[in-house]
Structure 1
Amino acid sequence: MEPVEINAGRYYLRALRADRLIDDRPALVAGLADPECARWLTHVSVSTLAEAGAYVAKRARSWAEETRFSWAVAEPTTGALLGEVLLKDLDLDSGLAEAGCWAVPEARGRGMTTEALGAVLRFGFGALGLREIAYKHSPGNTASRRVAEKLGFTPVAGTAELSELVLRNPRAG
């Protein structure tokens, strides 16, 4: 599938880019190096422009493979990267996915992630026909949990390392 652009109200969702018009690589390096992102996204290592370029290329391949759909949350007038929202572990045949998100420090606390991820959830349920979307976070990550709760996710499981919430398609039987 080709990347889908979404108008998410105050934000514009688009594919991550590293080209002559828009280069998200510097913002990826800075955003993912932020102590709060580094604390919760220990599985992501993007500390150089080359690693950021590989990250952008990997996200593009994931669209083509239909395994992960990732959107840059962009400021609509400048295109500046404010964060990323995504559907990962996609199983389109079974109608299942997991949602994820992160935000650069200056975009936090304004509802940006909730608004952007809400648009992605509507896309997942409406356009993709997903029946259930999971959301996992570390128990200490209260900001992440607040985003999930605002979007209607409800708890289904939890351990010392990970809490899982779920949102079911209201139109699915």
Structure 2
Amino acid sequence: MEPVEINAGTWYLRALRADDRIDDRPALADGGITDPDYVAHRSEQWADETHFSWAVCEPTTAELVAEIVVTPTADDTAELTGWARRGYESALETGTTAVRRFVEGGLGLSLR
């Protein structure tokens, strides 16, 4: 599956990126994620549908402030997890609500 972008009102949710236009790795490092292959790994997971992840971003700068991850299970359920950079807990909360709607309505999965 191709990554799905979500407009969550004040926040914009998109796939993680590390390219010549946007590099999420510094913000990920701020969240304790320092694996240089993390973004590529998350892209592979979208393709094989083992995990779906979103960078919760400030819409005018595209800066990552939180990450939300959905992990499907074998019984049509999924687990939703996430983390936020310090001071951006409300972005995580808003993003989680939007992702929850997408997972239940768009993917047909029940969240545990």
* TM-score bracket for this pair, using the shorter chain length: over 0.9
Larger radius of gyration: 1
Match of 1:72 among 36, 55, 58: 55
Amino acid at match of 2:49: E
* Distance in 2, Cα, partners of 1:68 & 1:29: 20
Report the equivalent of 1:106: 87
The question of 1:123 aligning with 2:102 is answered: yes
The question of 1:55 aligning with 2:38 is answered: yes
* Distance in 1, Cα, partners of 2:93 & 2:85: 14
Q: How many aligned positions are there?
A: 112
Report the equivalent of 1:18: 18
* Distance apart, 1:30 and its partner CA: 1.5
Asked if structure 2 preserves the Cα contact closer than 8 Å seen for 1:13 and 1:72, the reply is yes
Asked if structure 2 preserves the Cα contact closer than 8 Å seen for 1:8 and 1:119, the reply is yes
Structure 1 counterpart SS, 2:22: coil
Query: Residues 147-162 of structure 1: matches in 2 within 5 Å?
Result: none
Asked if structure 2 preserves the Cα contact closer than 8 Å seen for 1:18 and 1:25, the reply is yes
Q: Which runs of 4+ in 1 moved over 2 A?
A: none
Larger relative contact order (C-alpha < 8 A, sep ≥ 6)?
Answer: 2
* Distance in 1, Cα, partners of 2:77 & 2:29: 30
The question of 1:133 aligning with 2:111 is answered: yes
What 5-or-longer segments of structure 1 have no aligned partner?
A: 33-45, 135-173
Asked if structure 2 preserves the Cα contact closer than 8 Å seen for 1:101 and 1:113, the reply is yes
* Distance apart, 1:94 and its partner CA: 3.1
Please provide the CA RMSD for this pair: 1.2
* Distance in 2, Cα, partners of 1:98 & 1:87: 6
Percent pairwise identity: 50
What 5-or-longer segments of structure 2 have no aligned partner?
A: none
* Distance apart, 1:31 and its partner CA: 1.9
| TM-score for both structures, normalised by structure 1 | 0.62
* Distance in 2, Cα, partners of 1:106 & 1:119: 20
* Distance apart, 1:106 and its partner CA: 2.8
* Distance in 1, Cα, partners of 2:30 & 2:54: 17
| TM-score for both structures, normalised by structure 2 | 0.94
